[in-house]
Amino acid sequence: MPAAVNSSPTPGSVGASGRVPWKLTAPLEHVGPAGFFFAYLALTLVAPTLYLVWSSVTIDGANFTLERYQRVLTDPFYLRGFGNSIKLSVATALEATLIGALVAAAFTYAMPVRSRKALLTLTNIATNLGGVSLAFAFVALLGTNGMLTIMLRSALGIELYPEFNLASLMGLNLVYLYHLTPFVFLVTLPAFRGIRRQWIEAALTLGATRWQFWRYVGVPVLMPTILAVFILTFANAFGTYSSAMALTVGRVNLVPLQIGFLFGEAAFDKELADALSVLMILMTTACVIFYRIASRRTARWTERTR
């Protein structure tokens, strides 16, 4: 029983002679019920990903080649695509994380408890509108003859067009925010359970303002969560395909759209598409590494400080 309290189970137990026999099933014990998770994902995600990798570096399944990676990484066209995707994803991830976290805070501290179910239901509506439907809804709202466009024109005299264009990085930003902000809100909300009521009360009793509490205690406690959510939102934005395609019709150079074009009607290069996809996975892996490094520095109040 005391052994269970230690940090992680050792591969084997120390025998009477002091030797440490390595049990064959020890790694499995370490993995535990998580094993089902990894087995499942191995079959459904990891295996196809490895297939993509293999397909991107072989010709007709036989000869090894890095030509496609070389093509992509030296072609300024694709590099611009990566640049645009990164710029757009960083911007929207920052915006969505900031706004979404504030929305979650407001939900917890400013909205009446009775209204919570209704507010969550309204948010649920936003998470269900996506892809082509979302693109059309935004065209109906902000297109040249959109509801809001006409309202702004007739009521306030503001003419959106031609400076504004839905099928641009700016328009995409707006649409991405639509599906990213509720996402951030919903994923961050559980973290507020970690701000103990007693802490706030204690701080207030000791004479601190709410602002000081949040600055010195609240936000630092939430920092690992906020970092995680930022990374997650960045990845989410980076990989967004259907609403971007429906909205811009390929007008903006983004990596997921370029991948889609390789399966479309003018080009047929599944291996190049696979290479681009592998690069995207490498990017998100880099995100996780970055996140882990950054969170190690900011996690000060959580259980990892043992």
156-185 residues near another protein, rule: CB under 8 A:
161-162, 165-167, 178, 181-183, 185
Q: Which residues contact 18 (CB under 8 A, 6 or more apart)?
A: none
53-92 positions binding another protein, by CB under 8 A: 55, 77, 80-81
Residue with Cβ nearer another protein (21 or 161): 161
For helices 270-298 and 219-238, give the axis angle rounded to 10 degrees. Answer: 180
Judged by CB, which is closer to another protein: 18, or 112? Answer: 112
C-beta of 19 vs 138, nearer to another protein? 138
Q: Using CB under 8 A, pick the residue from 270, 290, 294, 298 that binds another protein.
A: 270
Q: Single out the residue of 103, 169, 180, 203 in contact with another protein (rule: CB under 8 A).
A: 103
The verdict on 26 binding another protein (CB under 8 A) reads: no
Q: Which residues contact residue 250 at a Cβ distance below 8 angstroms, ignoring those fewer than 6 apart?
A: 257, 261
Q: Does 101 bind another protein (CB under 8 A)?
A: no
Concatenate the DSSP letters of all residues of the chain into one string.
-HHHHSSS--SS---TTS-----TTHHHHHHTTHHHHHHHHIIIIIHHHHHHHHHHHEETTTEE--HHHHHHHH-HHHHHHHHHHHHHHHHHHHHHHHHHHHHHHHHHHTS-GGGHHHHHHHHHHHHH--HHHHHHHHHHHHSTT-HHHHHIIIII----TTT--TTSHHHHHHHHHHHHHHHHHHHHGGGGGGS-HHHHHHHHHTT--HHHHIIIIIHHHHHHHHHHHHHHHHHHHHT--HHHHHHHTT-S--HHHHHHHTTSSS---HHHHHHHHHHHHHHHHHHHHHHHHHHHHH--SSTT--
Of residues 8, 17, 63, 205, which one binds another protein by CB under 8 A? Answer: 8
Looking at beta carbons only, is 17 or 269 nearer to another protein? 269
294 binds another protein (CB under 8 A): no
Any contact of residue 108 with another protein (CB under 8 A)? yes
Taking CB under 8 A as the binding criterion, the range among 10-18, 62-70, 90-98, 103-111 that sits at the site for another protein is 103-111
Q: How many CB atoms lie within 10 A of CB 203?
A: 18
Position among 72, 187, 203, 275 found at the interface with another protein (CB under 8 A): 187
Instruction: Kindly indicate which of the ranges 17-25, 62-70, 90-98, 277-285 contains the residues binding another protein, using the contact rule CB under 8 A.
Output: 277-285
206 binds another protein (CB under 8 A): no
Q: Which is nearer to another protein, 5 or 16 (CB)?
A: 5
State which of residues 1, 16, 62, 206 lies at the interface with another protein (CB under 8 A): 1
Q: Which residue's CB is nearer to another protein, number 57 or number 229?
A: 229
Q: x/- contact string, 123-152, with another protein (CB under 8 A)?
A: xxxxxxxxxxxxxxxxxxx-xxxxxx-xx-
Nearest approach, Cβ of 297 to another protein (angstroms)?
Answer: 16
